């Protein structure tokens, strides 16, 4: 079976990338294969994780390339070169333009650390999301995997999982729980769902 070719795009430590790599190693991604890792900065530890897993990794920096257009051109070139079918944003902090996302309808997945439509949108990422949830006093949070369009966190929702907020939680403690109980489970699951669809389309 020809597997769907997956690129994972990251900006930092790459814990969600690791969850995908572990799922792949455990046979939980039978329809897809991670063949490329792209980081928005050369210091992202995620590139180290890619190297350890024997997967080609490249840094494509908007800062160095000077414009959104040049940045997306750099990404597109590598995606084309590696014949990518599916893009997974795993803690990728650069916003992608409409002209980029329009080329990949229902082929870009993102994981967001809350139950969308709560605590999402422009500027809501990382610890900020968990800080906002705690400040609001909600009792339940979670994670959402959604398709990506030109609106930050605005695409169609694919999977969600709720996580309880406990008394005394800090943003850091909550972030870790949401990763362990939701993000690291949902992302491989969503990757397999969409990969299976891609494989089916080819048959």
Largest CA distance in the chain: 52
DSSP label of 156: P
Q: Please state the three-class secondary structure of 50-67 as a single string.
A: HHHCCCCEEECCHHHHCC
112 flagged as catalytic: yes
Backbone CA torsion sign across 76, 79, 83, 86: negative
Tell me how far apart the alpha carbons of residues 198 and 193 are, in angstroms, rounded to a whole number. 9
Q: How far is CA 5 from CA 34, 40, 144, 195, in A?
A: 6, 20, 22, 8
The one catalytic residue among 5, 107, 112, 130? 112
Q: Catalytic site residues?
A: 112
């Amino acid at each position: 079976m020809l597997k769907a070719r997956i690129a994972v795009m990251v900006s930092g430590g790459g814990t969600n990338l690791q969850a995908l790599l572990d799922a792949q190693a455990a046979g939980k991604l039978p329809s897809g294969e991670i063949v490329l890792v792209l980081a928005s900065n050369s210091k992202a530890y995620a590139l180290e994780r890619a190297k350890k897993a024997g997967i080609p990794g490249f840094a494509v920096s908007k800062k160095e390339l000077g414009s959104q257009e040049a940045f997306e051109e750099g990404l597109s070139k590598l995606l084309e070169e590696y014949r990518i079918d599916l893009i997974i944003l795993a803690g990728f902090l650069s916003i992608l333009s409409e002209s980029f996302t329009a080329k990949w309808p229902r082929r870009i997945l993102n994981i967001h650390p809350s139950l969308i439509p709560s605590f999402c949108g422009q500027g809501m990422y990382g610890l900020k999301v968990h800080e906002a949830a705690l400040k609001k006093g909600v009792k339940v949070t979670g994670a959402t995997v959604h398709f990506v369009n030109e609106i930050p966190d605005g695409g169609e929702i694919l999977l969600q999982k709720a996580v309880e907020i406990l008394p005394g939680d800090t943003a850091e403690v909550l972030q870790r729980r949401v990763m362990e109980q939701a993000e690291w489970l949902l992302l491989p699951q969503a990757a397999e769902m969409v990969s299976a669809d891609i494989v089916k389309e080819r048959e």
